[in-house]
Every structure is written in C-alpha cells, then in structure tokens.
Amino acid sequence: MRVARAVESGAMGERPDSERAYRVMGILNVTPDSFSDGGEWFAFGQAVEHGRALVAQGAAILDVGGESTRPGSDPVPEPRERERVVPVIAALAADDAVHAQLSVDTMKAGVAEAAVDAGATYVNDVSAFRHDPALADLVAERRCDCCLMHMLGEPKTMQADPRYDDVVDDVRAFLAGRVEYALSRGIDPARIQVDPGIGFGKTLEHNLELLRRLGEIAALGFPVVLGTSRKSFLGRLTGRHDPHERVAAGLATNVLGFERGASIFRVHDVAQTVDALAVAAATVRRP
C-alpha cells in the first residue's frame, strides 16, 4: 500500500509521541441541535464571541460546524449549513486577535469551498471523503489540512447495533484505506490527520477498546485527532446525565490519549484541557 511506502520513506508526518507538541481544537457548533451545546452559540454574535473566548483559553484550532452529527441527527441542506458557518468563519478570520487555525466541520464540498474562501484552512470530514468525493479534490487543490474520521454508516443510523470483528483492527484498516484514497487524490500526506471516531457507531466497550489501543491507530504514522468531549459513553461510566458535567471524565480520556499517541484534542472545554495536557506533557516528557 502507498500508506506503508509513505511511512518507510518518511513522506508522512512522524508518529506523534510524548515529546512532540499537541494542539487543542475548540468546538464551535453553530447549530440548534448538537448533543451537548445545541443552541448555545447558534446566534452569529454569540458564536463569534465564543470563538474568541476559546482562542483566549488556548485553542490552536477552531472547528466551526453547522450540521449536528449526533446519533440520530437529520442532515442539513447545504445552503442552510453554509449560511450558518461561513459568516462566523469570515468574522473570526478578520479578527486580528484570533490566531487559531480555522477549521470547517462538514461533509459537503460546497460548504467547505465557501468556508475556505472565507478563511478556513482545515477541513474536518466525519465521512472521510465518502459522502462527497469532490471534497478530497478541494482539499488537494486548496492545500488544506484535513481530518479523516471513522464512522459506521451515517449519523442517523450509526448507533443501531454497531458490530465489528475487532474494533481497533477494523477502524485502523478503514483509516488506512481512506488515507490511501486521500493520497490518490493528490492530498499532501503532511496535511492528513486521522480520527478513530469515538462514539460514531461504537458501543461503550468499543470506545474503551479504542482508547486502550490508541497506539495502534497512531502507528499509521499520521497525527491522531481524539474527540471524546462530553460524549454519552462518559455519562454511562460516571452517571453524569448532563453533558456539561462530564468535563473531568473527558480530561481523563485526553490525558490517556496523549500518552498513547494522540496529538490533537477536539473539545468543548478548552481551558481545562490545556491545563490537563500541560501537566501530562511535563510528566511524560523525558528530561
């Protein structure tokens, strides 16, 4: 596979480890129905102010999304999604105080193109270019960074009895295949990141197994994005039904994920995550 050859030749990014930098990706949902903060930042002014606040707290990336991908969610028409995210990205791009990289969380090439025109340089696609293959061409042409995530099926049905032979092996093979596809469309390997898709078509035990064996995903040789923030499996483990009360549980997964090779952490609670990872990095790093 070209993936293996890229690793051998050094064409890929090096595997992230405890001595490499990490980045925190702040979640900015411009939606009325996201599972954790739907509606909180839906208004344009609130969204822009929240984006500024996340950067002030230490977010190196702002991930702006206009379509909820929570389990059971319905798709959003492209014009509506574009109307939600593009003005927010444009306002943040024009703000001299916002030094973070701007990302658009979308599966649609049309939305991504408008977002990139507005100032985004990162595309976070939960479908890993399966929903809209033209998105891969856009990423290659515009030289964007991108995140390829594993999801079983689609948001509407992904939690309907998910099954795997071996969840880590299956997710790793899927991501390797999508990386191969991205490379075939001309995307620079240094711009590719991978995400095992915690909570996207996985049971509680699937999520925990992916966290335990995250190093096997990192062994692909690409930066690993970890997104566990406030998710329902944390609520099941802790008994915290309100997603806002799952911050400590999410911090635990991020620290464990960092030790196992993750280097980008997609979170709602930026300030707490920045502190937790600073301590983790100082502890794990060799003198």
Which ranges constitute the DSSP H helices of 34-108? 44-57, 78-93
How far apart (Å, rounded) are the C-alpha atoms in residues 213 and 168? 7
In a domain, 124, yes or no: yes
In a domain, 192, yes or no: yes
- Answer yes or no: is pLDDT of 19 > 50: no
In a domain, 108, yes or no: yes
More confident residue, 237 or 8: 237
Containing structural domain, residue 129? 21-284
CATH number at residue 166: 3.20.20.20
Residues forming a β-bridge with 194:
148, 224
In a domain, 252, yes or no: yes
**Across residues 187-205, what is the average pLDDT?**
96
In a domain, 5, yes or no: no
Residue 2: pLDDT band (50, 70, 90) is low
**Across residues 164-190, what is the average pLDDT?**
97
pLDDT, one tens digit per residue, over 243-266 is 999 999 999 999 999 999 999 999
**Across residues 8-19, what is the average pLDDT?**
40
- Mean residue pLDDT across the chain: 89
Let me know: does 191 contact 233? Beta carbons within 8 Å.
no
pLDDT, residue 150, reads: 96
What are the structure tokens assigned to 82, written together? 């574009």
What are the structure tokens assigned to 87, written together? 């003005």
In a domain, 2, yes or no: no
pLDDT, residue 162, reads: 80
More confident residue, 9 or 189: 189
- Answer yes or no: is pLDDT of 41 > 80: no
- Answer yes or no: is pLDDT of 158 > 90: no
What are the structure tokens assigned to 106, written together? 């979308």
Say how many domains are in the chain: 1
How far apart (Å, rounded) are the C-alpha atoms in residues 269 and 238? 18
In a domain, 181, yes or no: yes
Residues labelled catalytic = 231, 266
pLDDT, one tens digit per residue, over 216-245 is 999 999 999 999 999 999 999 999 999 999
pLDDT, residue 193, reads: 98
Residue 117: pLDDT band (50, 70, 90) is very high
In a domain, 16, yes or no: no
Residue labelled with tokens 């995903």: 217
- Answer yes or no: is pLDDT of 106 > 90: yes
Let me know: does 30 contact 85? Beta carbons within 8 Å.
yes
pLDDT, residue 15, reads: 37
